[in-house]
Amino acid sequence: MTRRPSHPTHSYTTARDSAIINAAVARYGGIFLFSGRDHVRAGIDRDCVFFIEDRDGTRIFEATSFEQVMELSQAAEPRATLTSERGDRYVGSVSFDLERDVSSESVYPSTLRTDVRWLGADDFQPVVEGLRTVFGAAVEIDHPVFWS
């Protein structure tokens, strides 16, 4: 018998392969991204709507799915144009890329959507692997891990 994972979450995923890019953090009102450059924050609310809001909390972009077009230049910081299903637009530094190792170029998906899914053990595997590495090294060198 398969156990149902116990942690539902709102996540932002690519429309093509459902790779999770970001997940809402309920404790922080769904906000998972802060941009000091544009002075905005982004998140996913309880209704599974992705949003970008200014420093006063005014929503300047909302969507459950959107297209992302990147402007990449050697001379300037990357800029993204996000266009919602209703045609609303945001142009700024908030963008989403698929994580790759540091030796490769970022891959920017062109279409993204929000969804609600249950988190299972596999979703935490990257975190578990990182902790295994840290604690394995601590055991190997006989030195405790201190968290601050």
| In a domain? residue 100 | yes
Give the number of domains in the chain: 1
Q: Given this model, what pLDDT does residue 59 score?
A: 95
| In a domain? residue 51 | yes
Q: Beta-carbon neighbour count of residue 122 at 10 Å?
A: 9
The kind and range of the H/E element at 135 are helix 125-140
| In a domain? residue 36 | yes
Global pTM?
0.63
Cα gap 3→17, rounded to integer Å: 24
Measuring CA to CA, which residue among 14, 15, 9 is closest to residue 30? 9
Determine contact, residues 81/69, Cβ cutoff 8 Å: yes
Instruction: Look up residue 143 and give its DSSP letter.
Output: -
| In a domain? residue 143 | no
Q: Given this model, what pLDDT does residue 5 score?
A: 44
| In a domain? residue 94 | yes
Q: Given this model, what pLDDT does residue 98 score?
A: 60
* Residue range of the domain that includes 41: 8-120
20 Cβ contact partners less than 8 Å away, ≥ 6 residues apart: 11, 12, 13, 123
- Per-residue pLDDT of the chain in tens (148 residues, 90 and over written 9): 444 444 445 554 544 445 566 666 677 788 888 888 889 998 888 888 889 999 999 999 999 888 888 887 776 777 889 999 899 999 988 877 765 555 556 667 677 777 776 667 777 788 888 899 999 999 999 999 888 7
Q: Given this model, what pLDDT does residue 121 score?
A: 79
Greatest CA span in the chain, whole angstroms?
58
Q: Given this model, what pLDDT does residue 69 score?
A: 87
